[in-house]
Amino acid sequence: MESSINNNPLAKHFRQPAIYLKLPSGGRFYPEGTLDIGATGEIPVYPMTVKDELLLKTPDALMNGSSIVEMIRSCCPSIKDPWGMPLVDLDPILIAIRLASYGEGMDMTSNCTHCSAENEHTIDLRKVLDNLKPIANYDKQNFLHGLIFDIQPQTFQEINTAGQISFEQQKIVAAVENSELTPEEKKTQFDASFKKLTDLNISTLVNCIRSITTEDNQTVKEKSLIIDFLNQTDRKTYDEVRDLVTDIVKANALESMPVVCSSCETEYKINLDFNQSNFFV
C-alpha cells in the first residue's frame, strides 16, 4: 500500500509553488467547481516533475491534448479540469509552468522583418507575465443588425478538438490526392472534407458565442439554434460576426516582444505564439 503523502517523512522536501500567476480571465468562464482561486485571482504554479516531462514526449498524448491537461493538473492543482479552461489562460499558464521549471530565459528564433536575417533571442518570461493584462472586450455589448452578441473565449477542449479534426481532414485530402481514385471519386472525397471543414469553422465560431439577444429581448443560448442562424444568414452578416469574434480574440492575445536584428540592428517585434508540442523540450 502506498504511503499517504501526509504521512511521508519526506513530504517537506516535495516541490513547492515557484510562482503565483494572476489569470488573465480572473477566474471567469470556468465551469462551476473546476477552479479553486482566491480573492486575488492568483493560482500557485509548481515546477514540472519527471513524469510531467515524460508525458510531453509521448506523441499520441500530445496529439490528443491529454499530456498538456495532465501537466496542468500536476503543476496547477487549482485548475481541477484543464479541458474546460478558457483559451485566454492557456499560454500564460504554459509560460508560468516553464518559468517555474526551467527559469526565466527561453530561446526563440525569428527572421528580421527588414533584412530577413535569422536571429536568435532569449526571451525573459518574467517580463511576458508582468505584461499580462486582464481580458478585454468580453463584457461589452456587441450590436450587429439589431442583435446583441455576448462573446466568450473557447475552451482548451474545443480548440484541441478542432485542431484534431482539421489535421485529420488534411491527411485525408493528401491521401486522396495521391490515390488512384477516379476524378469523380476524388471529387466526392474532397467535397466531403470541404463540408467537414466548413462545419468546423461554423462550430468554432459558435463556441465563441455565449448568447444572442433579439430586438424583442429573447436571449438564445442553445448552440443548435445559433448554428441555424449562422447557416441561414447572409454572407455579409456571417463575415461581420466572424470579424467581431476575431477582433476580440486578437485583442486578448499575448503582446508581441521588441527585438533587435543582429545583422542590420533594426528593431522589430515578434509574436509569442508558443507551440505546445516543443515548448518544454
Q: What is the pLDDT of residues 265-280, one digit of tens each?
A: 999 999 876 665 556 6
* Domain annotation covers residue 281: no
Do 113 and 149 have their domain in common? no
pLDDT for the residue numbered 1: 34
* Domain annotation covers residue 169: yes
Do 183 and 222 have their domain in common? yes
Do 243 and 149 have their domain in common? yes
* Domain annotation covers residue 278: no
Do 119 and 190 have their domain in common? no
* Domain annotation covers residue 245: yes
The answer to whether 224 touches 214, Cβ cutoff 8 Å, is no
Do 128 and 263 have their domain in common? yes
pLDDT surpasses 60 at 34: yes
Q: CA–CA separation, 281 vs 58, rounded Å?
A: 12
Do 177 and 114 have their domain in common? no
* Domain annotation covers residue 70: yes
pLDDT surpasses 90 at 226: yes
Do 203 and 172 have their domain in common? yes
The answer to whether 238 touches 57, Cβ cutoff 8 Å, is no
pTM for this predicted structure:
0.85
- pLDDT confidence bin for 2, thresholds 50/70/90: very low
| Counted domains in the chain | 2
**Across the chain, which distance is largest between two alpha carbons, in Å?**
70
pLDDT surpasses 80 at 81: yes
* Domain annotation covers residue 280: no
Do 13 and 120 have their domain in common? yes
- Domain range for 243 is 142-251
Q: CA–CA separation, 261 vs 117, rounded Å?
A: 8
